[in-house]
């Protein structure tokens, strides 16, 4: 019998009432008295030297308050990078300055050249068109390998080259891996591209800056996944505003997928300009601006080699990746191809020797940073593609080859520095075989063939490191921040509870799932608990939401704080019941003296805490509010197995996904309906990457796919009805809820199975195609079939 | 968008009058023009909405049995209003999404002549007549290349007259992002021969594939065009498909259209 309450119940998402009835409060809904508007003049040249900017005409136009250029920001800090990677020779990465407004040069299409603040959006835009500028165009570097040529134009002339870093991991494994590959019975090699993507959250970015001269306080309202991170970065590194004078509010946010983690120039600008002008300043991104100013995702070019012995045991993996950083280092960009990628290269398999080399490269393109999965999809994709290719070369069943090499004993220390605490990869594969109906595939293939279509089945496994992250560990790896989280559980006098959390919900359903945990712990109704998030003036210092971390890290903090509340409430109850604290039990919202019928209700205890007339004031303080910070001991390791079944139209190359099944192990699950939804969304994004989405530049650095006319987002009819299952549960061993996180799994786990399925379909039609790079558009599949 | 004057005349004569100034532009359903204005890529002094001109809206039949569709008729109205020409109704029903179909008009689409639009293929394959406030133009004389037509400044499409073929079908292979036609082929079989019009593929815009027409006129079956192909030269090459791919799809879509037309 499924639960209807507390942990494990499919409680309906309470936040949907406001989202579905148009009563949410998004950043663009915030309009302040005397508000001004900024229009950013953005470069339409990828690389050029700014010779001259004349704003005088623009400044005299109707409604214009002021025009800002790079000169106005000469004394202001640049946008900081939050992660320093050390290269394989021990040197720090090359870290260029990242100005709020371009200074001297423009380095990508979309970079801000000037900003016009006026009393309306249209007037600001009118004036922006009157800005005269002279930019001497320089040759653009777009292709990563070309960017590393010795005579390539430099994106940053003060750096020695376009190489940000050359990272080796684990450097000590290098010789061992080389030797294993040299002596292997079989080596499968695959070169592939992990295509550049645009995150495209439904809500474009918005920022409103406000300043009160009387109190010297600045407020930034912004579309962020992590308001405290923005406060820290912008206050300390860009504008020099002490934290007690800076408030960052991220109200309802319409999706982020990573792109709203980072601190952006527009946020710093509106906060700065509001202080300068003494009036609120608002910016609302258009979709066109989003394409050229939101950080992009992925964009790796990789060569992977998998060595096997004569019995088909994996003996070594060697990979070389070029990772595109774009023109500047976005907030967490250096960590994505390194620590979020190399550490996952073991996958679900026992491979004794692994070496990962990553060259991060500057190009004249929009900065690239974390996008749903961030590094882990890139690791999963290459590994699961090369295993499939190996199985085909060796003539063995790709599922059996995987099973043969599964990690089966836990904890398991990989050769790439992480230790998997728990898992059961055979169990998820067994479940997958059942829900994907492997047994019925051949019959379905014949039925497709009868209709002139090629049918293929593709399978892959995945593992991800979530619950980001142990602070001391990431500190050693170059993070310039801690990655704990925090929660304050404020019990009100009549027993209702407000929980202030550092996590930020922008589609994840925290307002529903977090109360389920507290309701379970206290035995009270979920409706008695509300979550407060997204405002640094209300919540404790938490690090926000990304990396499938919210329930695993912030949820754990909430559990710890609730445990403190329970401990104190038991003391109060013991006093009220005239019993020993050790004898007090809490069940179903009642404190009972063990072995007796003496009890006192939750609400009576909370009232006593705030109306302490009969209260042990000499022993404990009044009130009932506790805060906990939680720093995880390890990552969590969600894992699973996915299967995709496609039909390919051999005449046109068009791929149709007929079936998709996902068997995930997320450990314990708080709300299975929300987990289903997270998996569905992730699968849509993974399928989008595999079949549709492609952020493309031409050789001059012009963004070719700059709108939905050319950038193909998955639509409802591009994806099938999914079979998802998360009944295989090996609880996380090191956090109090036994949870692992589910937000990114779908996007990480799905691209390889889609591509594996298409390759399988083509082979069934006699097309010996080894690989096609994503997205597998009809034209690419057709071209591959032509040989 | 830039500022402009906006008028909504009630009659064709008023609309023609309102379009006299050089910088005035006619606004049909606005499915291309409004996004263009929002991007500040057009700056008309005056927009003349045709939405209020009832006389260019609606569907009727003339004494030659032609389906006559007013220039201001929406795609949704065509989808529901031409049961005797199911291929045309199906084409209209598959343009864009419901919002597009409820706003966009046949006159607006033909006046714009987007190289990937669906209606130009239907008009050209049907041998339709484009009627304006001043004259009648045969479809064969109307389309003059990408976004180019025989229309003069200020000329308004009042009606499009479609002869109804014995059999017809439109096959659209969608560009994955925009879902415009990457290649669309409209095949129409008349008593005196077959017409085949191709949209989406050519750098010259919609065109007739005369080689296929000749083959199909003597044998209306997919086999008749099995060995035929259009040259890749002159086909559009972009992110979504090479000229070779588009040329290949012209053959595939033609065969499928013939098979579906029956």
**How many C-beta neighbours within 10 Å does residue A122 have?**
15
Q: Are residues A770 and A678 both part of a single domain?
A: yes
Task: Tell me what pLDDT residue A1 has.
Answer: 57
Six token digits for residue B202: 């050519």
How many structural domains is chain B composed of?
A: 3
pLDDT tens for A547-567 read 999 999 999 999 999 999 999
Task: Tell me what pLDDT residue B262 has.
Answer: 80
pLDDT tens for B161-170 read 999 999 999 9
Instruction: Tell me whether A702 touches chain B (CB under 8 Å).
Output: no
Of A630, A649, A680, the position where a domain reaches its end is A630
Task: Tell me what pLDDT residue A213 has.
Answer: 96
Task: Tell me what pLDDT residue A165 has.
Answer: 98
Q: How many residues does chain B have?
A: 262
The whole-angstrom distance between A708's CA and the closest CA on chain B is 6
**How many C-beta neighbours within 10 Å does residue A260 have?**
28
Q: Are residues A134 and A266 both part of a single domain?
A: yes
B179 CB contacts (<8 Å, ≥6 apart)? B96
Could you give the percent of chain A with pLDDT greater than 90? 99
Task: Tell me what pLDDT residue B100 has.
Answer: 97
Predicted-complex ipTM score: 0.96
In-domain check, residue A5: no
CB contact under 8 A, B245 and A779: yes
| A66: containing domain | 30-138+216-255+260-284
CB contact under 8 A, A651 and B40: no
Q: Are residues A396 and A504 both part of a single domain?
A: no
Nearest to A651 among B176, B182, B252 (CB): B252
pLDDT tens for A100-114 read 999 999 999 999 999
CB contact under 8 A, B239 and A710: yes
Of A594, A609, A630, the position where a domain reaches its end is A630
User: Strand order of the sheet with strand A722-725?
Assistant: A454-463, A639-648, A655-665, A722-725
The CATH number of residue A424's host domain is 3.30.365.10
Pairing outcome for strands A246-249 and A217-222: parallel
Q: Are A31 and A221 in contact (CB under 8 A)?
A: no
The CATH number of residue B25's host domain is 3.30.43.10
Q: Are residues A711 and A596 both part of a single domain?
A: no
In-domain check, residue A190: no
Q: Is B20 exposed, middle or buried (0-12, 13-18, 19+ CB in 10 A)?
A: exposed
Q: Is A255 exposed, middle or buried (0-12, 13-18, 19+ CB in 10 A)?
A: middle
Give the mean pLDDT of A510-534: 97
Give the mean pLDDT of B16-27: 94
Residue A562: half-sphere exposure toward Cβ, Cα within 13 Å: 26
**How many C-beta neighbours within 10 Å does residue A413 have?**
10
The whole-angstrom distance between B96's CA and the closest CA on chain A is 12
Q: Are residues A408 and A540 both part of a single domain?
A: no
Q: What is the dihedral of CA A476, A478, A480, A486, to 10 degrees?
A: -50
**How many C-beta neighbours within 10 Å does residue A715 have?**
13
Rounded Cα distance between A760 and A388, Å, is 10
- What letter would DSSP give residue A439? G
Task: Tell me what pLDDT residue B22 has.
Answer: 86
Residue A565: half-sphere exposure toward Cβ, Cα within 13 Å: 29
In-domain check, residue A168: no
Of A583, A604, A630, the position where a domain reaches its end is A630
Q: Are residues A660 and A781 both part of a single domain?
A: yes
Closest CA to A281 of A336, A221, A231, A340: A221
Phi-psi region of A375 (alpha: psi -120 to 50; beta: other; left: phi over 0): left
Decide if pLDDT at A404 tops 90. yes
H or E stretch at A121: helix A121-128
Cα–Cα distance list, A114 to A61, A262, B87 (Å): 15, 21, 52
CA A693 to chain centre: 17
Q: Are A283 and A112 in contact (CB under 8 A)?
A: no
Rounded Cα distance between A692 and A751, Å, is 11
Decide if pLDDT at B81 tops 90. yes
Q: Are A83 and A480 in contact (CB under 8 A)?
A: yes
Q: Which band of pLDDT confidence, cut at 50, 70 and 90, is reported for residue A787?
A: confident
Rounded Cα distance between A28 and A221, Å, is 9
Six token digits for residue A82: 């939050």
Give the mean pLDDT of A653-659: 98
pTM score above 0.90: yes
Q: Are residues A732 and A689 both part of a single domain?
A: yes
Six token digits for residue B259: 């098979």
Residue A210: half-sphere exposure toward Cβ, Cα within 13 Å: 18
The CATH number of residue A107's host domain is 3.90.1170.50
Q: Are residues A655 and A722 both part of a single domain?
A: yes
Q: Are residues A623 and A641 both part of a single domain?
A: no
Six token digits for residue A545: 């939401």
The whole-angstrom distance between A648's CA and the closest CA on chain B is 14
Q: Are residues A558 and A595 both part of a single domain?
A: yes
Q: Are A757 and A644 in contact (CB under 8 A)?
A: yes
In-domain check, residue A715: yes
Closest CA to A685 of A200, A290, A323: A200
Nearest to B176 among A288, A692, A782 (CB): A692
* Residue given tokens 């040299």 in the structure block: A182
Give the mean pLDDT of B164-193: 98
Closest CA to B233 of B252, B212, B258, B250: B250
Decide if pLDDT at A508 tops 90. yes
Q: With contacts defined as CB-CB under 8 Å, which chain A residues touch B171? A: none
Could you give the percent of chain B with pLDDT greater than 90? 98
Of B162, B188, B223, the position where a domain reaches its end is B162
3-state secondary structure of A655: strand
Q: What is the dihedral of CA A47, A52, A55, A57, to 10 degrees?
A: -120
Q: Are residues B150 and B60 both part of a single domain?
A: yes
Q: Are residues A687 and A774 both part of a single domain?
A: yes
A563 CB contacts (<8 Å, ≥6 apart)? A521, A628
pLDDT tens for A525-542 read 999 999 999 999 999 999
Instruction: Tell me whether A764 touches chain B (CB under 8 Å).
Output: no
pLDDT tens for A702-743 read 999 999 999 999 999 999 999 999 999 999 999 999 999 999
State the count of interchain CB pairs (< 8 A) between A and B.
44
Q: Are residues B171 and B142 both part of a single domain?
A: no
In-domain check, residue A206: no
CB contact under 8 A, B239 and A705: yes
CB contact under 8 A, A777 and B252: no
Give the mean pLDDT of A608-633: 96
The whole-angstrom distance between A417's CA and the closest CA on chain B is 40
| B79: containing domain | 56-162
Q: Are residues A490 and A609 both part of a single domain?
A: yes
The whole-angstrom distance between A51's CA and the closest CA on chain B is 26
CB contact under 8 A, B177 and A696: no
Q: With contacts defined as CB-CB under 8 Å, which chain B residues touch A125? A: 40
Q: Are A230 and A267 in contact (CB under 8 A)?
A: yes
Six token digits for residue A460: 């892959």
How many structural domains is chain A composed of?
A: 3
Instruction: Tell me whether A63 touches chain B (CB under 8 Å).
Output: no
Closest CA to B168 of B115, B108, B229, B122: B122
Decide if pLDDT at A2 tops 80. no
Instruction: Tell me whether A710 touches chain B (CB under 8 Å).
Output: yes
pLDDT tens for A345-382 read 999 999 999 999 999 999 999 999 999 999 999 999 99
Task: Tell me what pLDDT residue A472 has.
Answer: 92
Rounded Cα distance between A303 and A290, Å, is 31
Give the mean pLDDT of A198-223: 98
The CATH number of residue B251's host domain is 3.30.390.50
The CATH number of residue B136's host domain is 3.30.465.10
């Amino acid at each position: 019998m499924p639960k209807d309450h507390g942990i494990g119940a499919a409680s309906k998402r309470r936040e949907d009432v406001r989202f579905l009835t148009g009563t949410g409060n998004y950043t663009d809904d915030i309009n302040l008295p005397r508000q001004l508007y900024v229009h950013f003049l953005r470069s339409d040249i990828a690389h050029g030297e700014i010779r001259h900017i004349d704003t005088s005409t623009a400044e005299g136009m109707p409604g214009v308050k002021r025009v800002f250029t790079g000169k106005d920001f000469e004394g202001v800090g640049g946008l900081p990078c939050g992660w320093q990677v050390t290269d394989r020779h021990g040197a720090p990465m090359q870290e260029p300055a990242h100005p709020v407004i371009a200074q001297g040069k423009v380095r990508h299409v979309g970079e801000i050249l000037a900003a016009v603040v006026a009393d309306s959006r249209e007037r600001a835009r009118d004036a922006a068109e009157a800005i005269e500028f002279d930019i001497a165009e320089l040759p653009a570097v777009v292709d990563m390998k070309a960017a590393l040529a010795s005579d390539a134009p430099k994106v940053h002339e003060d750096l020695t080259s376009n190489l940000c870093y050359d990272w080796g991991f684990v450097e000590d494994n290098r010789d061992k891996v080389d030797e294993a590959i040299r002596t292997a019975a079989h080596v499968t090699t695959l070169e592939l591209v992990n295509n550049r993507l645009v995150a495209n959250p439904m809500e474009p970015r918005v920022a409103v800056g406000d300043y009160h001269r009387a109190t010297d306080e600045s407020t930034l309202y912004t579309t962020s996944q992590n308001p405290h991170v923005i406060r820290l970065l912008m206050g300390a590194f860009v504008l020099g505003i002490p934290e007690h004078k800076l408030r960052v509010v991220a109200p309802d946010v319409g999706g982020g997928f990573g792109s709203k983690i980072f601190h952006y120039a527009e946020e710093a600008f509106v906060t700065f300009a509001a202080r300068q002008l003494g009036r609120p300043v608002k910016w609302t991104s258009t979709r066109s601006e989003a394409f050229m100013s939101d950080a992009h995702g992925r964009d790796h070019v990789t060569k992977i080699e998998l060595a096997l012995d004569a019995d088909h045991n994996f003996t070594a993996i060697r990979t070389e990746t070029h990772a595109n950083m774009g023109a500047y280092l976005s907030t967490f960009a250096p960590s994505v191809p390194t620590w979020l990628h190399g550490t996952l290269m073991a996958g679900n398999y026992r491979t004794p020797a692994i070496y990962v080399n990553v060259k991060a490269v500057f190009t004249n393109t929009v900065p690239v940073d974390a996008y749903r999965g961030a590094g882990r999809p890139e690791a999963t994709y290459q590994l699961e593609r090369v295993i499939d290719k190996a199985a085909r070369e060796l003539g063995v069943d790709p599922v059996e080859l995987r099973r043969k090499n599964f990690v089966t004993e836990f904890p398991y220390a990989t050769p790439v520095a992480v230790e998997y605490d728990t898992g059961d990869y055979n169990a998820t594969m067994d479940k997958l075989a059942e829900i994907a109906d492997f047994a019925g595939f051949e019959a379905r293939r014949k039925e497709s063939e009868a209709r002139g279509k090629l049918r293929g089945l593709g399978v892959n496994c995945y593992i991800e490191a979530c619950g980001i992250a142990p602070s001391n560990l990431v500190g050693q790896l170059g993070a310039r921040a801690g990655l704990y989280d925090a929660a304050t559980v404020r019990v009100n006098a009549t027993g209702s509870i407000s929980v202030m959390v550092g996590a930020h919900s922008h589609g994840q359903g925290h307002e529903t799932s977090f109360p389920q945990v507290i309701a379970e712990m206290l035995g009270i109704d979920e409706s008695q608990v509300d979550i407060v998030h997204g405002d640094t003036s209300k919540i404790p210092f938490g690090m926000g939401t990304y990396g499938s971390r919210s329930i695993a890290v912030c949820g754990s903090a909430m559990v710890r704080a609730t445990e403190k509340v329970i401990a104190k409430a038991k003391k109060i109850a013991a006093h009220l019941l005239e019993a020993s604290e050790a004898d007090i039990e809490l069940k179903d919202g009642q404190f009972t003296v063990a072995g007796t019928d003496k009890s006192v209700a939750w609400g009576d205890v909370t009232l006593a805490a705030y109306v302490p007339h009969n209260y042990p004031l000499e022993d404990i303080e009044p009130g009932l509010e506790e805060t906990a910070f939680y720093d995880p001991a390890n990552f969590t390791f969600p894992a699973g197995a996915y299967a995709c079944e496609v039909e390919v139209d051999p005449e046109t190359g068009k791929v149709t996904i007929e079936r998709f099944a996902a068997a995930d192990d997320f450990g314990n699950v708080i709300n299975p309906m929300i987990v289903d939804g997270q998996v569905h969304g992730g699968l849509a994004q993974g399928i989008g990457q595999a079949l549709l989405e492609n952020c493309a530049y031409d050789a001059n650095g012009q963004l070719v796919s700059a709108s939905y006319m050319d950038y193909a987002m998955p639509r409802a009819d591009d994806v099938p009805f999914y079979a998802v299952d998360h009944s295989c549960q090996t609880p996380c061993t090191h956090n109090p809820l036994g949870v692992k996180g589910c937000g990114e799994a779908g996007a990480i786990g799905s691209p390889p199975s889609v591509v594996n399925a298409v390759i399988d379909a083509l082979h069934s039609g006699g097309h010996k195609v080894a690989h096609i790079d994503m997205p597998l558009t009809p034209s690419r599949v057709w071209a591959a079939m032509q040989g | 968008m830039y500022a402009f004057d906006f008028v909504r005349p009630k009659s064709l004569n008023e609309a023609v009058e309102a379009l006299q100034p050089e910088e005035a532009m006619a606004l049909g359903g606005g499915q291309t023009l409004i996004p263009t204005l929002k991007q500040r890529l057009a700056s008309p002094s005056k927009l003349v909405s045709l939405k209020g001109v009832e006389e260019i809206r609606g569907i009727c039949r003339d004494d030659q049995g032609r389906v006559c569709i007013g220039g201001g008729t929406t795609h949704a109205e065509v989808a529901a209003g031409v049961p005797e020409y199911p291929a045309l109704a199906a084409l209209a029903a598959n343009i864009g999404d419901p919002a597009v179909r409820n706003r966009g008009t046949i006159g607006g689409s033909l006046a714009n002549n987007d190289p990937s639009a669906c209606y130009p293929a239907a008009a050209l394959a049907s041998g339709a007549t484009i009627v304006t406030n001043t004259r009648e133009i045969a479809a064969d004389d109307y389309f003059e290349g990408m976004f180019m037509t025989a229309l003069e400044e200020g000329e308004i499409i009042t009606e499009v007259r479609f002869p109804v073929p014995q059999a017809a079908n439109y096959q659209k292979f969608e560009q994955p992002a925009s879902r415009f036609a990457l290649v669309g082929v409209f095949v129409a079989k008349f008593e005196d021969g077959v017409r085949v019009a191709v949209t989406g593929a050519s750098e010259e815009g919609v065109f007739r594939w005369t080689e296929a027409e000749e083959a199909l006129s003597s044998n209306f079956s997919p086999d008749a065009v099995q060995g035929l192909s259009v040259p890749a030269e002159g086909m559009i090459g972009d992110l979504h498909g090479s000229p070779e791919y588009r040329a290949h799809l012209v053959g595939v879509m033609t065969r499928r259209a013939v098979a579906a037309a029956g």
